[in-house]
Structure 1
Amino acid sequence: MRKIIYILSLFFCLPLGSIANEGMWLPSQIKNLMLYEQMKEMGLELSPEDIYSVNKSSLKDAIVSFGGFCTGEIISNQGLLLTNHHCAYDAAQNLSTLENDYLTDGFWARSMDEELPAEDLYVRFLVRMEDVSSRFQEVLSNDMSAEQRQAIIAELSNQIQKEAEEETGYDASVKTFFAGNEFYLFLYETYNDVRLVGIPPESIGKFGGDTDNWMWPRHTGDFSLFRVYAAPDGSPAEYAEDNVPLEPRHHLPISLDGVKKGDFSMVFGFPGSTDRFLTSYGIQMQLDVNNPTRVDIRDRRLKILKADMDSDPQIRISYASKYAQVSNYWKYFIGQSQGLKNLKVIEKKQELEQQFKDWVAQKPEERAIYDTVLQNMDEAYQQIRNYQTSYLYLAEGVYGTEILPFAYRFSALEKVLQQDAKDEQSQQKLEQVVSSMKSSAEEFYKDYNAPTDQKVFAALLSMYASNAPADQLPEVLNKVERKYKGDFNRWAADVFQKSIFTDQQKLMAFLEEPKLKTLSNDPAYAAVQSFMSNYYEKIALHLRSAYGKLENNNRLFVHGLRQMNPDKEYYPDANSTLRLTYGSVLPYEPKDGVLYQYYTTLEGVMEKKNPDDPEFQVPEKLVSLYESKDYGPYAISDNTLPLCFISNNDITGGNSGSPVINGKGQLIGTAFDGNWEAMSGDIAFEDELQRCISVDIRYTLFIIDKFAGASHLIDEMTIVQNTKAEQEVEAPVEDSQMNE
């Protein structure tokens, strides 16, 4: 029988108005008096030590980097971990077969013995962080070239990391902040035995699909459960049957109180990348070159993948994760361009740049350092523009195929074969490389379909030939024009018929007795070598020079901005290190006459339900639970079931799966998306419009308990109810859309 803890607490008056809560703050910045006082005023009841501490258990000890691409949180004293459904998608796809399709049907382990090892997945806890900027400042100077700085930074970072790992036994990483002006050392404890515990079917975890992606209102149960295992002594260990569930230093209690407008919300996680210091010149290149080129290439690729996935259930399973990864940022680039234009971000950046110029003009002593910074950055971007299209067609086109980047991995084998040495050491090296290639091939062919890749190959490389500057094209594309009369379908058919890389048996036979001539003459291998040689000979040097100039001047620009505004507390751009953001649960007005409320309910799922549309199908059991209103303790006072909510927390990619925590340090939701109207948020935070979309923890518990019947998982969680008062009920977002 589960226990719900009732805690009587003082009634708290919370500010309901929108406060600009921009900032992905380092844990060490929380002690800043201004930040902490504002958080307290908004509803935080914890001390800085409760949030981040090296010496005692704190919230940060329940937060993990999940696989290096998402965030997760520990929610029981037995290592149970909560993250997003889309963060688990690749692991579930790898474990799925036609007989056990966990993507379509979901999966729930009825005991720990049934939990499924997620191969190559890891979680990483932050142990502590340390400012090591002074060590870099001793050896760096402004008159160094970008290449010199990079070399010194890399060498010193490796030295500091090695020292820290030898001293502590933890994994160490040195990260650059504020465009190269500051440096921090991070120590992590990494656990490699992570097992899938539960994931809802796609009809819940991915409800709305690409149509609803990046949109509000949302009705997506975007969550999954894993468990972290350790050696019997509690230390990190590779997968082993005798491993035991991790006993964490801290796990998050779960609140059943729900959320009201104005409630304090805190997101703790590992945001991947932002570019908040990007200049107007960089944004213009995003709009003119980067985003439209990426969208065009991905759009073509997605249509090919979708057609083949719809034609064959096995291809659907094999390509589900690949499709989702391509699609997610295809839509993101579209939305970002719209947001940058609609919110006039270039104009706002130009105002800041003019302020910077005016400040420099008033500071004669600073002119030698800053006077030409913006001009130099403008010139660098102009140089980058000349070669960016070719680079993007390499990154999105050549690397948008599967066969070419896979074939390029065999460059290491070619180097060994070229030596043609017969001594024992050379033979051992050859055996090592061949063994590595065999392992790589096993992974590659597991989810590979050559006919699909052949279509992608022909389409994307045809686009490359048509859109990249003629004088920057590789010889292999000129050869297609001569030999195949520009018919890329004929070329693709020839390559895929003759290449050893299109068939696992042919490749494995080659690896049993590898020959240099066979490899170098292979049409796929020869093609990718042509693409890469062309890049390094015609493009890379120019880009490297331009980006070096950009990097040096951007560092000075950021340094100058902080000097220009000495009283302003700046936060660094996201770089996959642990950050905290704080805000409030709030509605928003996306346009005139439209109000989006701050939460959605199960009613919205039933309104969107469409059995003929795969994105909006609803499981019969969920329909039955809805019709009977069998919501258990997870309903709000009018017997409706909350599903998602929004807050003005500052998040980005990498925050997927991050816990949304109330002022008492209790879990109230799981962040999984941002909203369409503020897709420019990675470049410029929009305080009136930007929203973090989260799954309400009560819907997560309802699906686990009532839908999946996995109440044993609920039993191991710490469920907290702070008061017995009913939640304030407002018109949910479905009703408010009548204004639109």
Structure 2
Amino acid sequence: MNYSYVSFIQCRLACLCLAFTAVCCSVQNASAEEGMYPMSELKQLDLPSRGIELTAEQLFNPQAISLVDGVCRVNGCTGSFVSPTGLIITNHHCAYGAIQQASQGSHDYLSSGFKADSLSDEIPAPDYTVRVTQDYRDISAEVLAVVQPGMSYLERSEAIEKKSKEIELAAEQANPGLRAEVAEMFAGKTYVLFQYVYLRDIRLVFAPPQSVGNFGGEVDNWMWPRHTGDFSFMRAYTAPDGSSASYSVDNIPYQPKRFVQVSVEGVQEEDAVFLLGYPGRTARHKTAAFLNYEEHVRLPTLIELYNWQIEVMTAAGEGDREVEIKHASRMRSLSNVEKRSRGQLQGLRRAHLAEKRRATEAELQAFIESDSARKAKYGELLKEIQAVYQEMEQLAPLEFNLQQLRSASRAAAIAYFIVDAASERQKPDLDRESAYMERNWEQSLQSLKSSVNDYHAATDEILLAGMMERLKAVEAGPVTEALKRQFAASIVPMESVQQWLARTSVGEWEFVERYAAQTPQTLAQTDDPILQLMLELYPTYLELRDREKTREGRLSELYGSLIEIKQQFAKSDFVPDANATLRFTCGHVRRYSPADAVVMLPLTTLSGVIDKTTGKAPFDTPSEVVEKFEADELGRYRNATLNDVPVAILYDTDTTGGNSGSPIFNAKGELVGVNFDRCFEATINDFAWDQSYSRSIGVDIRYVLWLTDVVYGAERLIEEMGVKH
């Protein structure tokens, strides 16, 4: 049955306004204990009191097989192995790029979904890599030993970067087959070397139609209640000898040390759950000056720029499915970030978070000034940090537009890569930017090839001309002069851009591949207009890179000092901000009240999917799903209490971007769901976390299994996962 969804959305948005008012109060009294724990902190946690039946060693043990061996990083997301032959479950939106790339041509797997009936039918996803954490060790002393008195901030940043690369390469040489990566845990203070199994042959196995995997679209994104089947299956492969290898028909499925056991029983309200995953970046230890910059500069600018790009690409794809598919992955990513940023901006404003952090910093400053030794060392610390963000604010119009020029326009992005590669590839390997080092070059070229595949000249005309208009309005010396030279033949950027794109070859892979291997001297002779434009702007981009590294070096040192004095002031240690390394978080399947007299229950059902269905995007449930529901073919995935198939779960764990695809485990370490989102109120989590309003959203494993098994008949995957009939 169908019903009008408009009134429900209006009611829910009204509740959100009230919810942010509640957040204003709760942020001030936020618990000091945050929930994204590095593996090094597991032994400090009282797991039984949190309802977890596993020990710290059963969760992570570099000397033995543990649950972590069944969890992996899938590009910028998380996934988990659910079979002994490398089958991975992650989110539909995490596999979206692979589905989109496979859809170009005669197949539209975004619309129809995809099911491989055998291993040979699984589709390569060359843009994807998978990592499995093997070990870690603190290398802070080694890294910081290169910092010498009298270094400029740029020199400091570059010295730390180069030393980190040296350590990574040395670790990889000592451990063939593993990938090494240095991560800064506390800015300017602690550095950890992580070692990973690194898999490069990843293939698409199963994906439901987009109308299931993205049911509700941007209307429901970041919202509860939710009814999205946001899951897909992929598989990792290795060379026949088990070593990491690029795609080959001779490769065999990867055999993980451990795979995760799926629980058909699922969870009930108030059950304990925990997640392992690779959350992106949080900013809970940043200052009020940073929050002010986010609130007044970065977030408003990003929201406006992304909305404009989304509108352009939406219009370009109307009536042309091929063009729509080309833009699909970028649009979904932009839409997700835009809505999250909107939630963060509203949260910052309504919670007055910058103001509250300034009050906390005033107390810290008083503590500093109460002791002459502390005052001598830390007295100007907060002012110095503020000065960095003030400089960023002043330069934001130029820097944002320069960055977006090479991001919004595919042609500019491709040209920038070619010009930058020509310069960087002339340097010794350790001195290159990371993307151009030998260890990363193959994957960088593959990503570039995907950008070329997604290039659409008519869309790029609007995006490139729009960004040029923005840059023309910025008085910025060399940039302004470079643009004047480029526009010498035309007053209107669109006229110039149309001529450039008519003559450029950056949309042709053979040309791009050839020119990506050229020297700067060869590029200087080119008559390709987009490459000429980027050659004109390249010195400014180099200045921007140096300025960013200078800031990084300065803030790294300053925030290192801030952590020192905060620990003295609070007389306690802190959990480091998330940084895309492996973390643990736990909580319970739990309802919440976002506004007065409003209670959100923690489980949604298949009946709710049908109730929301309108037959039009984004609520156009596939007919095969509706038919199975109407025939009451729910099978063993029916929950007795609900008399229905559970669809989504709500729980009070601490998550952020990068936790997408994280396995949701029950107390025994069995898979009961896949994390994919947060509630709108919780978008502020990146800046301040509180259990009272922090709610994450996952797809219930019973809905995953029902769709995979009953609706789409992928019995081989059900059997492979050991889910017995």
1:77 equivalent among 64, 77, 84: 84
Cα shift at 1:621: 0.8
Instruction: Give 1:296-307 correspondences, 5 Å limit.
Output: 296-307=304-315
Partner Cα distance (1:536, 1:469) in 2: 18
Kindly indicate whether the alpha-carbon contact (under 8 Å) linking 1:130 and 1:186 is maintained by their aligned counterparts in 2.
Answer: yes
Q: Quick one: structure 1 residues 490 and 120, their matched pair in 2 at CA, closer, same or farther if it must change by over 3 Å? A: closer
Q: Secondary structure of the equivalent of 2:598?
A: coil
Kindly indicate whether the alpha-carbon contact (under 8 Å) linking 1:394 and 1:531 is maintained by their aligned counterparts in 2.
Answer: no
Does residue 168 of structure 1 match 2:168?
no
| Matching residue of 2:185 | 177
| Matching residue of 1:329 | 337
Instruction: Give 1:575-590 correspondences, 5 Å limit.
Output: 575-590=579-594
Kindly indicate whether the alpha-carbon contact (under 8 Å) linking 1:204 and 1:220 is maintained by their aligned counterparts in 2.
Answer: yes
Does residue 260 of structure 1 match 2:265?
no
Instruction: Return 5+ residue gaps in structure 1 as ranges.
Output: 1-17, 419-434, 722-740
Instruction: Give 1:398-417 correspondences, 5 Å limit.
Output: 398-411=406-419
| Matching residue of 2:6 | none
1:531 equivalent among 537, 549, 553: 537
Does residue 558 of structure 1 match 2:563?
yes
Q: Deviations over 1:244-266 (max 9, x none)?
A: 32232111111222222222111
Cα shift at 1:22: 2.5
Cα shift at 1:120: 3.6
| Identity in percent | 32
Partner Cα distance (2:382, 2:422) in 1: 45
Kindly indicate whether the alpha-carbon contact (under 8 Å) linking 2:154 and 2:549 is maintained by their aligned counterparts in 1.
Answer: no
Select between 324-333 and 85-94 the one with higher mean Cα deviation. 324-333
Kindly indicate whether the alpha-carbon contact (under 8 Å) linking 1:297 and 1:397 is maintained by their aligned counterparts in 2.
Answer: no
Partner Cα distance (1:245, 1:265) in 2: 30
Instruction: Give 1:354-373 correspondences, 5 Å limit.
Output: 354-373=362-381
Q: Deviations over 1:275-297 (max 9, x none)?
A: 11111111111111111111111
Instruction: Return 5+ residue gaps in structure 2 as ranges.
Output: 1-29, 427-441
Q: Secondary structure of the equivalent of 2:305?
A: helix
* Higher Rg: 1
Partner Cα distance (1:245, 1:501) in 2: 36
Does residue 101 of structure 1 match 2:124?
no
| Matching residue of 1:735 | none
| Matching residue of 2:595 | 591
Q: Quick one: structure 1 residues 414 and 540, their matched pair in 2 at CA, closer, same or farther if it must change by over 3 Å? A: closer
Instruction: Give 1:384-395 correspondences, 5 Å limit.
Output: 384-395=392-403
Partner Cα distance (1:364, 1:413) in 2: 51
Does residue 238 of structure 1 match 2:246?
yes
Does residue 496 of structure 1 match 2:495?
no
Partner Cα distance (1:348, 1:400) in 2: 35
Residue 455 of structure 2 aligns with an amino acid whose one-letter code is Y
Q: Quick one: structure 1 residues 319 and 267, their matched pair in 2 at CA, closer, same or farther if it must change by over 3 Å? A: same
Kindly indicate whether the alpha-carbon contact (under 8 Å) linking 1:474 and 1:534 is maintained by their aligned counterparts in 2.
Answer: no
Q: Deviations over 1:587-626 (max 9, x none)?
A: 12222232211111112222221223x2111100111112
Partner Cα distance (2:351, 2:652) in 1: 17
Q: Deviations over 1:13-70 (max 9, x none)?
A: xxxxx998622111121001xx2x2x31121111111100122211100011112x11
Q: Secondary structure of the equivalent of 2:260?
A: coil
| Matching residue of 2:490 | 484
Does residue 30 of structure 1 match 2:37?
no
Instruction: Give 1:304-323 correspondences, 5 Å limit.
Output: 304-323=312-331
| Matching residue of 2:634 | 631
Partner Cα distance (1:73, 1:417) in 2: 36
Instruction: Give 1:331-480 correspondences, 5 Å limit.
Output: 331-411=339-419, 443-466=450-473, 468-469=474-475, 473-479=479-485
Kindly indicate whether the alpha-carbon contact (under 8 Å) linking 1:65 and 1:123 is maintained by their aligned counterparts in 2.
Answer: yes
Q: Quick one: structure 1 residues 181 and 511, their matched pair in 2 at CA, closer, same or farther if it must change by over 3 Å? A: closer
Q: Deviations over 1:530-560 (max 9, x none)?
A: 33333445x5665555554333212211222
Residue 136 of structure 2 aligns with an amino acid whose one-letter code is M
Partner Cα distance (2:73, 2:248) in 1: 22
1:601 equivalent among 605, 613, 620: 605
Residue 214 of structure 1 aligns with an amino acid whose one-letter code is W
Instruction: Give 1:34-113 correspondences, 5 Å limit.
Output: 35=45, 37=46, 39-67=47-75, 69-113=76-120
Partner Cα distance (1:186, 1:528) in 2: 36
Partner Cα distance (1:240, 1:500) in 2: 30
Residue 35 of structure 2 aligns with an amino acid whose one-letter code is G
- TM (norm. structure 2) is 0.87
Q: Quick one: structure 1 residues 195 and 398, their matched pair in 2 at CA, closer, same or farther if it must change by over 3 Å? A: closer
Q: Secondary structure of the equivalent of 1:534?
A: helix
Q: Quick one: structure 1 residues 442 and 680, their matched pair in 2 at CA, closer, same or farther if it must change by over 3 Å? A: closer
Q: Deviations over 1:72-128 (max 9, x none)?
A: 101112221100001111111111234221111111112223222222422111111
Partner Cα distance (2:287, 2:723) in 1: 47
Partner Cα distance (1:47, 1:513) in 2: 54
Residue 631 of structure 1 aligns with an amino acid whose one-letter code is L
Instruction: Kindly report structure 1 stretches of 4+ aligned residues shifted beyond 6 Å.
Output: 18-21, 412-418, 435-441, 504-515
Cα shift at 1:471: 5.3
Q: Secondary structure of the equivalent of 2:95?
A: helix
Q: What's the C-alpha RMSD, in Å, of the aligned pairs?
A: 3.1
Residue 626 of structure 1 aligns with an amino acid whose one-letter code is F
Q: Secondary structure of the equivalent of 2:506?
A: helix
Q: Quick one: structure 1 residues 234 and 536, their matched pair in 2 at CA, closer, same or farther if it must change by over 3 Å? A: closer
Kindly indicate whether the alpha-carbon contact (under 8 Å) linking 2:675 and 2:698 is maintained by their aligned counterparts in 1.
Answer: yes
1:522 equivalent among 528, 531, 536: 528
| Matching residue of 1:213 | 221
Kindly indicate whether the alpha-carbon contact (under 8 Å) linking 1:271 and 1:577 is maintained by their aligned counterparts in 2.
Answer: yes
Partner Cα distance (2:531, 2:126) in 1: 29
Partner Cα distance (1:82, 1:312) in 2: 32
Does residue 276 of structure 1 match 2:281?
no
Q: Secondary structure of the equivalent of 1:494?
A: helix
Q: Deviations over 1:374-418 (max 9, x none)?
A: 011112211221112211111123421111121223326877999
Select between 661-670 and 344-353 the one with higher mean Cα deviation. 344-353
Kindly indicate whether the alpha-carbon contact (under 8 Å) linking 2:127 and 2:447 is maintained by their aligned counterparts in 1.
Answer: no
Q: Secondary structure of the equivalent of 2:269?
A: coil
Q: Quick one: structure 1 residues 153 and 459, their matched pair in 2 at CA, closer, same or farther if it must change by over 3 Å? A: closer
Kindly indicate whether the alpha-carbon contact (under 8 Å) linking 1:43 and 1:264 is maintained by their aligned counterparts in 2.
Answer: yes
Partner Cα distance (2:555, 2:515) in 1: 45
- TM (norm. structure 1) is 0.85
Q: Quick one: structure 1 residues 163 and 533, their matched pair in 2 at CA, closer, same or farther if it must change by over 3 Å? A: closer
Cα shift at 1:440: 8.1
| Matching residue of 1:691 | 695
Residue 220 of structure 1 aligns with an amino acid whose one-letter code is T
1:131 equivalent among 123, 128, 138: 138
Kindly indicate whether the alpha-carbon contact (under 8 Å) linking 1:648 and 1:687 is maintained by their aligned counterparts in 2.
Answer: yes
Residue 703 of structure 1 aligns with an amino acid whose one-letter code is L
Kindly indicate whether the alpha-carbon contact (under 8 Å) linking 1:581 and 1:651 is maintained by their aligned counterparts in 2.
Answer: yes
Partner Cα distance (2:499, 2:417) in 1: 21
Cα shift at 1:472: 7.3
Q: Deviations over 1:677-734 (max 9, x none)?
A: 121211111321111110011110111011111122111224499xxxxxxxxxxxxx
Q: Deviations over 1:122-145 (max 9, x none)?
A: 211111111222334555478754
Partner Cα distance (2:364, 2:425) in 1: 56
| Matching residue of 2:653 | 649
Q: Quick one: structure 1 residues 140 and 458, their matched pair in 2 at CA, closer, same or farther if it must change by over 3 Å? A: closer
Kindly indicate whether the alpha-carbon contact (under 8 Å) linking 1:300 and 1:459 is maintained by their aligned counterparts in 2.
Answer: no
Q: Deviations over 1:341-382 (max 9, x none)?
A: 122211331232122112212333322221111011112211
Residue 300 of structure 1 aligns with an amino acid whose one-letter code is W
Cα shift at 1:657: 0.5
Partner Cα distance (2:83, 2:422) in 1: 50
